[in-house]
Structure 1
Amino acid sequence: MTDQKNESTRRTSSPSAVHAAHATTSARPSRRDALILGAGVAAGWTGLVGAANAQTSKDAPKEVRLDYAYYSPTSLVLRRFGWLEEDLAKDGIGVRWVLSAGSNRALEYLNAGSIDIGSTAGLAALLARANGNPIRAPYIFSRPEWTALVVRGDSGIRSLADLKGKKVAATKGTDPYLFLLRALHTAGLKRADIEHVGLQHADGRAALEQGRVDAWAGLDPLMAASELDAGSRLLYRNVGFNTYGFLNVREDFLARHPREVQRVILAYERARQWTIAHPSDAAKILSEEAKVSLPVALLQVKLRTDFSQPRPSDEHVKALQAAAPILTAEQLVRPGVDLNRAIAELVDTRFAAGLVKA
């Protein structure tokens, strides 16, 4: 994976819903339109940015390194319009963007110190934190239904029980992989009951469509593309098993540069509010960046992603507490690890309290 410089749910996937969303698509946003969120929102955002800028530490970093990901549409919006660059440039701080192909990649980059801020699924972040990755999550970029278990349209597999003994592709260390394990447990199966094929998300999709695996734990927008373009079928869906999208920060960076982290969160808030106001235009950006069709991008942005709860709260803590048992049941964490403590250390419910509406 190479570093790249910046280049300034609703729960249905029916064809009719996708086409209805497509029909409402507006023209590509102009630079001027992109900068206007409405007088009230813009004024509030500008005021908060000004306050954060006024408190910028004297030892500010020369550069803030963060990822963008196709499973995080707001990161694509933020990168496209350069709002963070515009803000940080006032203090001579640069911005470097790195593409994350999945939560596992973002967590690897964070653990290695090659990025400061990275976007992942909540349960994947907890797994990493429990295993020693020193991260905290002060912001939630979305509540998506971004994963499900996928089979080919002509597959004879009709239930989770039918997966026993079958080849299933999934990317370890990601929400789709953990979703797979939780789904198997609902049918009385474990990881040992299937033949897990470890592939990165795009390779998993290809393996499914080429018949090299029987099922795939998908990730949008690849999953939506497989449905609409290749006729793949969602075998098992469970919104509750899709953990939130966490924006994670390395603890040492958060401790040394809290004002810069505030400014990143404020920029994400601007992108989130713009995405809510312009979902069709956000889908166009996703379509262009991820090189998927517009109907695929609309399916992900309009029908499978909820952008309404950005501030970490007890809701996110409880979601991780409900999901955590799979980590011990499948021996994914060291014996004796206190997962409740790891959750408390990961989910930062106070940092963004003055910046983001609950």
Structure 2
Amino acid sequence: MKLSAIRRLLLTFALSSMLPVAAFAAGTDLPKDLPKELRIGFQKSSVNLTLLKHRQALEQQLKGVKVTWFEFTAGPQMLEALSVGSIDFATTGEPPPIFAQAAGSNLVYVGAEPAKPGVSAILVKPDSAIRALADLKGKKIAIQKGSSAHYHVLRAVQQAGLQWLDITPVYLAPADARAAFERGSVDVWAIWDPYWAAIEQSAAPRILATGKGLVNNLSHYLSARSFADKYPKVIQVLFEELTRSDSFVQKSRDEAVAIIAASTGLDKPTIASFLERRPRSPVVYLTQNIIDEQQRVADNFYQQKLIPKAVNVRDAVWLPPGTKL
């Protein structure tokens, strides 16, 4: 990547701490050895991917490549599919790739979106006696294991001066966790948008803590190393189009709300609330700052014995040819 291109994109994105993706120039020839199929995993929180699916820009850019989309309930399930070769490209929060790497997966980080600390919450019932993070002691907390919510709860427990063993985690996927929370089988639910926005609309739970001051909630893009090494131009095209999707969210909010609502099956007020909390999210290649932050998350999980072995995040970082940290 040429330095001049990096400078231009730094000005465009105003993200001095991140290495932006070089723009894919219109008319540039793609390599002849494109994949026959590009299989993409996404979830309800994947705003840029959801809009990219609707826009069909990949089908226009990658002529002859069959683009197939697979929806997952959460990041850990998505990375299981990536690990066994069922998909080629995925996006999750910070913890799922750490758990996958600890389990021996050959995935690589190929990119990231900026921090979104305000799009996750630890929720209690309106009449709950839980008023402070210290009150989590002895409580049952519904969490998707290995998700951003998992780390959110860990940091909340630590900030309260508690130990992980002081709580009772109940590992449930989002839909099951909501059901358990609503019927009172658990005391607390840690969850991210748009699931948080959805229950806000119907049940008005009380927010014990958002991610602000506790977690960064970066979104990571991941692939198999073999796919990224063989098709770096495909990754480049993906990132350019994902960033265009984010620009669409900022400039055409009402239309974006309608598209995402139709895709997710959630109502427009839920999606509008979610997008209101979501910051601008262009896609960038990884930088040392991003890697260092992810390493801190990994080290914390290992120190708490929540993953079986220490993880070196840098071992799983992929950068396009000619690019250095």
Residue in structure 2 matched with residue 245 of structure 1 by the alignment = 219
Q: Which amino acid aligns with 2:241?
A: A
Residue in structure 2 matched with residue 150 of structure 1 by the alignment = 123
Q: Which amino acid aligns with 1:169?
A: A
Residue in structure 1 matched with residue 60 of structure 2 by the alignment = 86
CA drift at 1:47: 5.5
* 1:175–1:242 CA contact under 8 A, matched in 2: no
Which runs of structure 2 are paired with 1:10-89 in the superposition (5 Å)?
Answer: 48-51=25-28, 54-58=29-33, 60-88=34-62
Residue in structure 1 matched with residue 142 of structure 2 by the alignment = 169
Task: Report the 3-state secondary structure (helix = DSSP H, G, I; strand = E; otherwise coil) of the residue aligned with 1:183.
Answer: helix
Query: Which one of 98, 105, 108 corresponds to residue 136 of structure 1?
Result: 108
Residue in structure 1 matched with residue 273 of structure 2 by the alignment = 299
2: CA distance between counterparts of 1:142 and 1:65? 24
2: CA distance between counterparts of 1:347 and 1:244? 15
Is 1:104 paired with 2:76? yes
Residue in structure 1 matched with residue 173 of structure 2 by the alignment = 200
Residue in structure 1 matched with residue 264 of structure 2 by the alignment = 290
CA drift at 1:263: 2.1
- Relative distance call for 1:49 and 1:132 in structure 2 (3 A) is farther
Is 1:221 paired with 2:227? no
Is 1:269 paired with 2:243? yes
Task: Report the 3-state secondary structure (helix = DSSP H, G, I; strand = E; otherwise coil) of the residue aligned with 2:38.
Answer: strand
Q: Which amino acid aligns with 1:351?
A: P
Query: Which one of 303, 313, 320 corresponds to residue 343 of structure 1?
Result: 313
2: CA distance between counterparts of 1:78 and 1:103? 18
Show CA shifts across 1:263-283 (max 9, x none). Answer: 222221221222222233222
* 2:243–2:283 CA contact under 8 A, matched in 1: no
Residue in structure 1 matched with residue 85 of structure 2 by the alignment = 113
Residue in structure 1 matched with residue 67 of structure 2 by the alignment = 95
- Runs of 4+ residues deviating >6 angstroms: none
- Relative distance call for 1:284 and 1:178 in structure 2 (3 A) is same
Q: Which amino acid aligns with 1:185?
A: Q
Task: Report the 3-state secondary structure (helix = DSSP H, G, I; strand = E; otherwise coil) of the residue aligned with 2:162.
Answer: coil
CA drift at 1:353: 9.0
CA drift at 1:46: 8.6
Q: Tell me the percent identity.
A: 28
2: CA distance between counterparts of 1:148 and 1:187? 16
Is 1:330 paired with 2:304? yes
* 2:242–2:283 CA contact under 8 A, matched in 1: no
Q: Which amino acid aligns with 2:27?
A: G
Of 200-209 and 311-320, deviating more is: 311-320
Query: Which one of 153, 163, 168 corresponds to residue 180 of structure 1?
Result: 153
1: CA distance between counterparts of 2:200 and 2:162? 26
TM-score (normalizing by structure 2): 0.85
* 1:57–1:257 CA contact under 8 A, matched in 2: no
2: CA distance between counterparts of 1:211 and 1:80? 38
Q: CA RMSD in A?
A: 2.5
CA drift at 1:343: 1.8
CA drift at 1:231: 0.8
Show CA shifts across 1:263-316 (max 9, x none). Answer: 222221221222222233222222222222222211211223331563422331
2: CA distance between counterparts of 1:47 and 1:105? 31
2: CA distance between counterparts of 1:252 and 1:98? 20
* 1:72–1:142 CA contact under 8 A, matched in 2: no
* 1:139–1:310 CA contact under 8 A, matched in 2: yes
Gaps of 5+ in 2: 1-11, 13-21
1: CA distance between counterparts of 2:149 and 2:219? 13
* 1:243–1:319 CA contact under 8 A, matched in 2: no
Show CA shifts across 1:145-197 (max 9, x none). Answer: 33221111121111122121111100101111121112112222233222211
Q: Which amino acid aligns with 2:315?
A: E
Show CA shifts across 1:60-81 (max 9, x none). Answer: 2210001122111111100111
2: CA distance between counterparts of 1:67 and 1:196? 27
